[in-house]
Amino acid sequence: MKLIYIPFKISRVLPFSILLLIALMFTSCEDFVDIEPPNNQLIGTEVFEDVTTVDAAFAHIYSQLRENAFTDGGLSGLSYRLGHYTDELTLYSAILPEVQNYSNNNVLASDSSIKKWWDTSYNLIYATNRILEGVENSTEISPDDKSRLLGEAYFLRGFLHFYLTNLFGPIPYIDSTDYRINSEVSRLNEGVVSQKIIEDLLNAKDLLPEADLSFANLRPNYWVASAMLSRVYLYTENWQLALTEASSVITDGSYTLNTELSEVFLKSSTETLWQLDVGMAGNNTREAGTFIFVTTPPPNSAISNYLINDFESGDARFNNWVGSVTDGVETWYYPFKYKLNIPTGTTEEYSILLRLTELYLIAAEAHAQLGNLPEALDFLNAIRNRASLAPITSLNQNDVLNAILQERRIEFFSEQGHRFFDLKRTGRASSVLPPIKPNWQSTDILFPIPESELILNPNLLPQNEGY
């Protein structure tokens, strides 16, 4: 049965005691191991007897994803930092030394962004665990609402752990709110973590409803869980399950590829599965403010020549998704997927976390790995056709796989670190990046565990190799 989401923006004034409780649940802490349960009995009663207050708790999680987590579209988010860490962006500013460390592959265990990604992620994981425990024990929330809320929390817990393990390798998988347990956790190998992520996403898929299109794709639903499962299966090289999930979203979901490239990153895009609200009406994305510049030379960063040179002649994405500034002699380029870096009368762009194009390219890669090359080309060429490029016709498996990875490079540039994760998961980082980055070492495929965490909890030792 299809369920309808409760509106994301709370429509009535919440009692002060509930607002205080929500603040206590989600207040940023020095790090996740320090979180102790607030001394307030409402934690287990009133807040979890009202679906509106639980939705308010989720609203805070999404605001943190937008403003403070690795999904932040600003200078400390994955899109910007990993763009410099790989070969997407070139740094021009002399006053961003931490970003320079990413460009030079000299990231330190004391890096503030590394700590921010770790701390914010585990704080949000704690929040999802609190919701899971509270909603499960609730006696007042209806079964349909309970299913939706639990599914959303399972999804977010899996989503957060997915990025943590792909950034840091072995990590703790936190599924409890008991601070005594959490303060002494050890790291689990990546295979174990991936299996736990899959279990959470399968639970989410079982519990979540299909999308309510009036909700603007701001909350995870059944199809979002299926899409994320497809990505996890791809990363773990379970080609058949990756294909099954991707094909399901493409065939049975209510999403369609935008025929116009200029519409892909609008908030009303028909191919968006999940996106983040802007927080205030009329605002647009932080990504636009981060990447767009109008003066020369670039004040912070520009697209690298390596990426510019990888666009095929006639690729319509270059004209639609790349902006430029010239001084009459030299031209610099910037990501122009999000085009509005100032407030507008009404919000027109949201930060997109999952879109249908990824499922097409997952299906293409999974088919190719399974030897189904004509089917792989069907999905790959659908994306190339939209970009006004000639179809790939080779039926050589290596050629097709290389073409798919090249298509991902162009399609997902400056989006949530796709380039880094693709180079890492395919084992290509240490062949592609060393000629570009003299300081590159094979151990750079993982980031360091924040040094402050190792001091607080020695069970997290040893530090990742190379740091």
Q: What is the pLDDT of residues 93-150, one digit of tens each?
A: 999 999 999 999 999 999 999 999 999 999 999 999 999 999 999 999 999 999 999 9
Residue 173: name the closest of 151, 149, 195 by CA: 195
State how far the Cα of 115 lies from the Cα of 380, in Å rounded to an integer: 38
Q: What is the mean pLDDT of residues 424-443?
A: 95
| Domain range summary for the chain, segments of one domain joined by + | 24-208, 211-415
Q: What is the pTM of this model?
A: 0.92
Higher pLDDT, 46 or 57: 57
Residue with tokens 């390219």: 361
- Ordered DSSP codes for 7-35: PSS--SPPPHHHHHHHHHHH---SSGGG-
Show the tokens assigned to 225.
Answer: 């869980």
pLDDT tens digits for range 200-243:
999 999 999 997 655 789 999 999 999 999 999 999 999 999 99
Specify the DSSP element, H or E, that contains 221. none
pLDDT tens digits for range 293-327:
999 999 999 999 999 999 999 999 999 999 999 99
pLDDT of residue 214: 56
pLDDT of residue 227: 98
Q: Are 265 and 337 in contact (CB under 8 A)?
A: yes
Query: Going by C-beta distance under 8 Å and a sequence separation of 6 or more, which residues neighbour residue 83?
Result: 89, 301, 413, 414, 417, 419
pLDDT of residue 49: 82
Q: What is the mean pLDDT of residues 321-350?
A: 97
Whether the domain at 24-208 and the domain at 211-415 fall into the same CATH topology: yes
State how far the Cα of 204 lies from the Cα of 149, in Å rounded to an integer: 9
Q: Are 291 and 338 in contact (CB under 8 A)?
A: yes
pLDDT of residue 213: 52
State how far the Cα of 395 lies from the Cα of 240, in Å rounded to an integer: 20
Show the tokens assigned to 319.
Answer: 């004209």
Structural domain 211-415, CATH architecture: Alpha Horseshoe (1.25)
Beta pairing class for 89-91 and 301-303: antiparallel
How many helices and strands (H and E) does the chain possess? Answer: 19, 6
State how far the Cα of 257 lies from the Cα of 31, in Å rounded to an integer: 40
Averaged pLDDT score across all residues of the chain: 91
Q: What is the mean pLDDT of residues 181-204?
A: 97
Query: Going by C-beta distance under 8 Å and a sequence separation of 6 or more, which residues neighbour residue 120?
Result: 28, 64, 68, 69, 70
State how far the Cα of 402 lies from the Cα of 248, in Å rounded to an integer: 25
State how far the Cα of 273 lies from the Cα of 254, in Å rounded to an integer: 9
Q: Are 144 and 155 in contact (CB under 8 A)?
A: no
pLDDT-derived band at 23 (thresholds 50, 70, 90) equals low
Q: Are 292 and 323 in contact (CB under 8 A)?
A: yes
CATH of 24-208, one of 2.40.100.10, 3.30.870.10, 1.25.40.390, 2.60.40.10: 1.25.40.390
pLDDT of residue 179: 86
| Statement: residue 5 has pLDDT above 90 | no
Query: Going by C-beta distance under 8 Å and a sequence separation of 6 or more, which residues neighbour residue 331?
Result: 324, 325
Count CA atoms within 13 Å of residue 223 on its CB side: 25
pLDDT-derived band at 47 (thresholds 50, 70, 90) equals confident
Find the range with the poorest average confidence among 4-13, 53-62, 132-141, 447-456: 4-13
| Statement: residue 4 has pLDDT above 70 | no
State how far the Cα of 231 lies from the Cα of 208, in Å rounded to an integer: 18
